[in-house]
Structure 1
Amino acid sequence: MSRGPAPTPSYLQLLKGNPSKRPLNDREPRPAKGAVSPPGWLVELDVPVPEIASLKTAELRDLARRLDIARASRMKRGDLVQAIVDSSEGDRLRFWGRLQEQLVKMGVMTEADGTALALLCDNLATYIECRRVLIADGLTYDFTTKAGVEMPVQRPEVGIGNAALTNAMRLMDRFGLNPAYRTKLKVEAEREADGLDALRARGSNAAG
């Protein structure tokens, strides 16, 4: 049995003018706002250098030079691997940087949102990866049945990409990044005051 849609956070209800007029949760947890570092698993997924730990030290130094890493020739192997990881950035970390900057400006990014944002970035990157495959190889491939009949079959990247995009759109809704959802928000041009109390005060003034 479906539980229905997830409850809307209080700050988003206030930005929408609390159209339901239901009492808001005064004890809702309020994590500190601001930017956070991406979780380690997202960084590991995003490093566009396959199996760097298995490379020989000379190969690592050559790769480090191509990444313009300073003092690579003097680094120990462990430091060299870490420097390569830190200097590598793929779609996931690019999405992380761009989206987090937007969310911080919107005033909705908190220290508790890192995992949700990482999942959003991972799904967006997965969708892009699937699109690259489909653009290069086409939506279908030829499959030969046991009877020897050739027939076009949809590539698995179609379904994988669509599922990732669906997940990403749901997560974007939760952050207020859906354009249709954002039109319902009533955001002031300047935010001199911060936090739920300031939003509640603006809602009270509008009601008065």
Structure 2
Amino acid sequence: MPGPPKTPTHLALVKGNPSKRAVNKKEPKPPSGVPPIPKHFDKMGKYWFKRIGEELDAVGVMTTLDGKALELLIEAYTEYRQHCDVLAEEGYTYKTVSATGEEIVKAHPAAVMKSDAWKRIRAMLAEFGMTPSSRSKVGAKGPAEADPLEEFLKKRK
């Protein structure tokens, strides 16, 4: 799918619709709230799932359908932390002996896995608007406030 991702309907309505493209009036509007914590998480995963879920819900970004996306973020984060702990204990390199008998310094495998986990974390943080640059691109409902436009339109009917 080429091009930038589609702008959510509520943002298109707020920004205006200069291209005059049809607005999806049947776009799903899942209820806000923190989804249940996955049972397979360890203690650290459960803690971060609950904490970040509540933070996102407080700013109006989290819905009950976002559980899997939040799960991916938390899994990547806990994996990242585990690799950090391993590297702090064992170091970023290790020495081995080649077939010819010379000593070679190699990068620790956990360093590559840590880098991969970091990339996944950054991508998921951006999806939820949790980085300074991505915050402006995510439409947050904010704490359960009534939409003035919807209230006005209801009164007119």
TM-score relative to the length of structure 2: 0.79
Q: Which has the larger radius of gyration?
A: 1
Identity of aligned residues (%): 28
Note the aligned Cα RMSD (angstroms).
2.9
Cα 1:159/1:21, change in 2 over 3 Å: farther
Report what 2:134 is aligned to: 181
Report what 1:108 is aligned to: 61
| Within-5 A mapping of 1:109-128 | 109-128=62-81
Which residue, out of 14, 18, 22, partners 2:15? Answer: 18
Cα 1:163/1:108, change in 2 over 3 Å: same
Cα 1:104/1:189, change in 2 over 3 Å: closer
8 A contact 1:116–1:171 mirrored in 2: yes
| Within-5 A mapping of 1:192-203 | 192-193=145-146, 198=147
CA distance in 1, matches of 2:112, 2:4: 24
Report what 2:32 is aligned to: 33
Cα 1:9/1:38, change in 2 over 3 Å: farther
Report what 2:83 is aligned to: 130
Amino acid at match of 2:46: L
Deviation by residue 1:106-142 (Cα, 9 ceiling, x = unmatched): 1111111101101100001111111111111111000
TM-score relative to the length of structure 1: 0.61
8 A contact 1:14–1:199 mirrored in 2: no
Greater relative contact order structure (CA < 8 Å, 6+ sep): 1
| Within-5 A mapping of 1:42-191 | 43=41, 46=42, 89-90=43-44, 92-183=45-136
Cα 1:100/1:152, change in 2 over 3 Å: same
Unpaired runs of 5+ residues, structure 2, are: 151-157
Unpaired runs of 5+ residues, structure 1, are: 47-88, 202-208
